[in-house]
Amino acid sequence: MIDTDNNQVTTYLQLVGCFAIEGSPVSITPFGSGHINDTYKILTDSPDGPNYMLQRINNNVFKNVDHLMENIDKVCNHIKNKLKSEGVSALEDHVLTPIPTKNGALYHKDEQDNYWRIFVLIEGTKTYDIVETTQQAKEGGRAFGKFQAMLADLNPLDIHEVIPSFLHIGSRLRHFKQAIEQDAAGRVNELKEETTFILERENKMNTVLGMAAKSQIPLRITHNDTKFNNVLLNRDDRAQCVIDLDTVMPGYVAYDFGDAIRTIINTAAEDEADTRKVLLNIPLFEAYTKGYLESAHHFLYPMEVTSLVDGVLLLPYMQMVRFLTDYLSGDTYYKINHPKHNLQRTKAQMKLVQEIEKHESLLRNIVRKEADTYQT
């Protein structure tokens, strides 16, 4: 139960009752490890019906909940149709299924202006914060490659940009510099090393946007939060479903590749306190690349393949910029577990960027070699 306070549990269960679920809810427990929304697992009394996942949408981050839910509904339906045409059965195990309210809306707004939604819970699956085997990494690559492939025929202009300039590094750096100027939390002086590190790399990190500006890579619909724990794997470690579709928006494939690798190649956690433990696991990089290209080679342009390692450098750097901006601003965006959490995350991502820089040419060779296997 989420609380020993029975009144609170009753309130949550009433809330669930606003949605068109099967059966009645009987228990609610906190679930998952996301930094943005609050997630709960709901069990019901229906012996044959599904269980559910309840989420409070972070409206500080997602300002337009209508747009957010329209995107998710469109993407889930599109994927569902694709899987159906492939003959996949038990579709609700392979793609998220949003449950409407009894009034037919995609979310419920309560009296305190909290926004809630419900999905069918996909049971019997696992997620990994740290990848353990090459099989898991390869499956992750297959899953995100297939995800992009299934959305390749949807017009990016039909998808709302729910967080404007979400992965635009120029915009992220502008916010970072504003946060330094404002120094809202009085922390600028303790951050010289990290600030210098970011500013020294400002131009170098512009390659993906540079390719886009020259129309060398196309805008596509991308997931934009391809942390490895956003893939559900089944008992045999086969990828079953890509989750966390809040940030599905127009983007570049290098973003998804880079963010997945950010979490896969790192031998330590995203927020590892001992940065000596942040090292690269190259076999996992190779395995993810194999799985990804297996699913995506048929639609990628050669320059997109080239851009993948630019994404691998960019995404940990951008994550560092985002964590540090939040630390400078007084921790208003990400959930934190202790006062220096965003700084700890910043330092771990900085070490990761340094490691990736040291191995850049090795990573480029691996991608090239793997991509060459598809040349005829």
Q: Site residues (CB under 6 A) for ligand GN1?
A: 34-36, 61, 225, 227, 244, 246-247, 270, 319
308 or 336: CB nearest ligand GN1:
336
Residue 148 contact, options ligand GN1, Mg ion, none, Cβ 5-8 Å cut-off depending on partner type: none
- The letter for the amino acid at 342 is N
DSSP 360: H
201 or 262: CB nearest Mg ion:
262
Pairing, β 52-57 against β 220-222 = unpaired
Residue 13, C-beta contacts closer than 8 angstroms, at least 6 positions apart:
25, 28
- Least distance in Å: CB of 225 to Mg ion? 6
Q: Could you give the C-alpha distances from 2 to 10, 20, 122, 155, 161, in angstroms and in order?
A: 11, 22, 20, 41, 33
239 or 293: CB nearest ligand GN1:
239
227 or 341: CB nearest ligand GN1:
227
H or E element that contains 46: none
71 or 319: CB nearest ligand GN1:
319
- Which residues pair with residue 42 across a beta bridge? 28, 52
- Least distance in Å: CB of 225 to ligand GN1? 5
Residue 190: how many other CB atoms lie within 10 Å: 11
Q: Which of 34, 250, 251, 311 lies at the binding interface for Mg ion (CB under 5 A)?
A: 34
Quick check: helix, strand or coil at residue 1?
coil
Closest residue to Mg ion, based on beta-carbon distance = 244
Q: Check if the beta carbon of residue 39 is closer than 8 Å to that of residue 55.
A: yes
- Least distance in Å: CB of 265 to ligand GN1? 15
- Least distance in Å: CB of 32 to Mg ion? 7
Distance CA 158, CA 58 (A): 23
DSSP 283: H
346: its two tokens: 């910043």
Distance CA 249, CA 242 (A): 15
Residue 266 contact, options ligand GN1, Mg ion, none, Cβ 5-8 Å cut-off depending on partner type: none
Using alpha carbons, select from 222, 244, 220, 250 the residue that is nearest to residue 144. 222
DSSP H helical segments within 28-156, as ranges?
A: 65-85, 134-151
- Least distance in Å: CB of 167 to ligand GN1? 8
Angle between helices 282-296 and 253-264 (to 10 degrees): 150
Residue 189: how many other CB atoms lie within 10 Å: 7
38 or 294: CB nearest ligand GN1:
38
Residue 35 contact, options ligand GN1, Mg ion, none, Cβ 5-8 Å cut-off depending on partner type: ligand GN1
33 or 182: CB nearest Mg ion:
33
44 or 262: CB nearest ligand GN1:
262
Residue 36 contact, options ligand GN1, Mg ion, none, Cβ 5-8 Å cut-off depending on partner type: ligand GN1
221 or 300: CB nearest Mg ion:
221
- Least distance in Å: CB of 80 to ligand GN1? 22
User: In sequence order, what DSSP letters do the residues of 204-234 get, joined into one string?
Assistant: GGGHHHHHHHTTSS--EEE-S---GGGEEE-
Distance CA 176, CA 120 (A): 38
- Least distance in Å: CB of 322 to ligand GN1? 7
Q: Which of residues 211-250 bind Mg ion (CB under 5 A)?
A: 244
- Least distance in Å: CB of 326 to Mg ion? 16
- Least distance in Å: CB of 324 to Mg ion? 20
Write out the residues near Mg ion by the rule CB under 5 A: 34, 244
